[in-house]
Amino acid sequence: MQFTAGQIALIINGQVEGNASAIVDSFGKIEEAQENQLAFLANPKYEEFLYSTMAAIIIVNDTLELKQPVTATLIRVPDAYSAFAALLRKYQQIATQQLTGVEEPSFIHPSAELGQNIFIGAFTYISEGVKIGNNVKLFPGVFIGKNVKIGENTILMPGVKIYHDCVIGKNVTIHAGTVIGGDGFGFAPQADGTYKKIPQIGNVVIEDYVEIGSNATIDRATMGTTLIKSGAKLDNLIQIAHNAEIGNNTVIAAQTGISGSTKIGNGVQIGGQVGIVGHIQIADGTRINAQSGVSKTIKTPNSTLTGSPAFDYTSALRSQAVSRNLPELEKRVAELEKLVHQLLQERVGI
């Protein structure tokens, strides 16, 4: 696909500076871009490449002041990074919209209801009672269980598995290998030391505009619903346990595990490899640093936590500062003890 600078400026509401007829057909990093590519400049440390790049078109901030002449056509916008991201989304949308039809071999149960302009990749299995909205894209190897509902414009990448009775909203993207609706980890200990499985009869509901990375697992509820609210973004390799709730626009980085029945508020930011125990609540706007372990409810909104067990970030920094100074403090205490001992000897001598 080819686009002119003028067309791109219309998409991202930018102002063209240079040749509005300049054409690009792909994207490139500003330091590596070729003559037919579009790049962007948002980080000032890459500004030197603005004057040497071969890119035909470059998206830049309105505030950028040129220090040298440039050969590329510039498109000025308030935020180059956000504009470039919006352009990539538009490009991806156009590319995926072109995918339609059913590849063979695939299985579609006669009772399944399919929307318009959908794509079903080879080796996809769609069970009975499934309802799929318009413009949905199911890439090869996807499994859709009984009575699953999938909203319009949703994309399921290769190998995604959606178990029975789960609900996926509109404009959701789920990446390869992720499993939605597997059994929650529920086992009752028995008198003889064995464990008896507790049936998991609930489901998972994923609301609109959620994105979930590769190889994540979201367990179905024991009863009721495991809920991922609108706008949440989950990284790769995340475990969400049964009956958990993830709030609106919450972001969670890779290898985080959230235990059962825990409720995460809106706008929470969770770093990688965080562990959160079950049956607690995390207040709106909380920020949890990577590798923290959260073992109790966080009631104060917009708190920042770190460590294991996690506690207030500012207090943690003070504790770390004290810990670094322990050798020096030990030396000073030893000197004070020696001085006190000398003073006592002198007093006895008097």
pLDDT digits (tens, 9 = 90+) for 111-167: 999 999 999 999 999 999 999 999 999 999 999 999 999 999 999 999 999 999 999
CA–CA dist 304, 300 (Å, integer): 10
Contact residues for 9 (Cβ-Cβ < 8 A; gap 6+): 15, 16, 20, 75
| 242 catalytic residue (yes or no) | yes
Q: Residue 311 pLDDT > 70, yes or no?
A: no
- pLDDT bin (cut points 50, 70, 90) of residue 178 is very high
Per-domain boundaries in the chain: 3-97, 101-254, 315-349
pLDDT at 258: 98
3-97 and 101-254 agree in CATH topology: no
- DSSP codes of every residue in 292-317: -EE-S-B-STT-EEETTTTEEHHHHH
Least confident of 89-93, 171-175, 241-245, 252-256: 89-93
Question: Can you tell me the mean pLDDT for 69-77?
Answer: 96
pLDDT at 319: 75
State the chain's mean pLDDT as an integer: 94
Q: Residue 350 pLDDT > 60, yes or no?
A: no
Catalytic residue among 109, 164, 242, 279: 242
Q: Residue 250 pLDDT > 90, yes or no?
A: yes
pLDDT at 147: 98
Of all residues in the chain, the percent with pLDDT exceeding 90 is: 83
pTM of the model: 0.80
Q: Which residue, chain included where needed, has tokens 């006592």?
A: 344
- pLDDT bin (cut points 50, 70, 90) of residue 325 is confident
pLDDT at 349: 63
Its CATH class, for the domain covering 3-97, is alpha beta
Question: Can you tell me the mean pLDDT for 174-188?
Answer: 97
- DSSP codes of every residue in 145-183: -TT-EE-TT-EE-TT-EE-TT-EE-TT-EE-TT-EEEEP
Q: Which CATH number fits domain 101-254: 2.160.10.10, 1.10.150.120, 3.30.230.10, 3.30.1370.60?
A: 2.160.10.10
Q: Residue 273 pLDDT > 70, yes or no?
A: yes
